[in-house]
Amino acid sequence: MDFSVLTIFPDMFRQFWEYGIIGKAIEKGHISAETINIRNFAQGRHRVTDDRPYGGGCGMVMKPEPLAGAIREAKLRSPLSATILLTPQGKPFNQETARAFAEQDGFILVCGRYEGVDERVYLDFVDHEVSIGDYVLMGGELAAMIVVEAVTRLIPGVLGGEDSAEMDSFSGDLLEHAHYTRPPGFEEKAVPDVLLSGNHGEIEKWRFETSVVRTFLKRPDLLADRELTRREVELLKQWCIRIEKIIRSQSGRGADPPSGSQ
């Protein structure tokens, strides 16, 4: 997988490419990474990369020539890579996108800055627009790092444990189960007995249960948006029965709200 990042702030990526698992992935040849400075493709003594918008208004626009030059250079080096513009107007990036991206040859990640890039670059040089969420950043650099991380960890061999990527939050459309490590007691809170029991069947059951319940409590939308497995439905039913029992045993209790309140 080849990543080329096009940015006017290449220094932001220096540490990023060296850091932890990304650094190892480069060392082991799972990914290649290069940062191309858009400014190197700008003209004139000052190598200006932005200009005022036609039609007026505030903010600046990224000039088309330096961007086009940088993209052409990146494409020469990695002809099979798709060109992605990081922008809040893009398609929302999620785990499904990350999985699809992990199957590709490579990406040229164009980091926009200022109010945006000249429309002609977008029309002629960009294959996909990607956003990392519904909020506005000052540029695409952090978004590009997020895409690189999410995709790289899915490439076979990048993570240590064979199944560590598979077991993560979202891989199975459920949030991950609760985790504990030593010490067994921490500030009066103990590790659940089942995890110390050595009973792998019971541990798996407990993990599945915490996984489904957490998903229900924290991200009910993840359950509502897909077909549940029989096991998941069964588990939620059991919880419903338990909750109903509590409600029934308590229904005679509790003060009525004051009259007039909603």
Residues recognised as catalytic: 88, 115, 153, 168
Instruction: Of 158, 113, 133, give the one whose Cα is nearest residue 3.
Output: 158
Minimal distance, residue 94 CB to ligand 6GU, in Å = 12
Q: Between 134 and 188, name the residue whose CB sits nearer to ligand 6GU.
A: 134
Helix (H) or strand (E) holding 22: helix 20-27
Contacts of 73 (CB under 8 A, 6+ apart): 36, 41
Minimal distance, residue 62 CB to ligand 6GU, in Å = 11
6 phi/psi in degrees, rounded to 5: -105, 120
β-pair partners for 50 = 62
Minimal distance, residue 64 CB to ligand 6GU, in Å = 18
How many other CB atoms are there within 10 angstroms of residue 96's CB atom? 10
Q: Between 117 and 235, name the residue whose CB sits nearer to ligand 6GU.
A: 117
Q: Between 26 and 142, name the residue whose CB sits nearer to ligand 6GU.
A: 142
Interface residue list for ligand 6GU (CB under 6 A): 86-88, 90, 112, 130-133, 135-137, 139-140, 143
DSSP 3-state helix, strand, coil percentages of the chain (rounded to 5)? 40, 15, 40
Q: Between 128 and 242, name the residue whose CB sits nearer to ligand 6GU.
A: 128
Q: Angle 230-250/200-218 helices, nearest 10 degrees? A: 70
28 phi/psi in degrees, rounded to 5: -85, -5
β-pair partners for 117 = 62
Residue 110 near residue 126, CB atoms below 8 Å: yes
Cis-peptide into 88, omega within 30 deg: no
Minimal distance, residue 87 CB to ligand 6GU, in Å = 5
Minimal distance, residue 137 CB to ligand 6GU, in Å = 3
User: What distance in Å separates the CA atoms of residue 92 and residue 130, rounded to the nearest whole number?
Assistant: 6
Q: Between 112 and 235, name the residue whose CB sits nearer to ligand 6GU.
A: 112
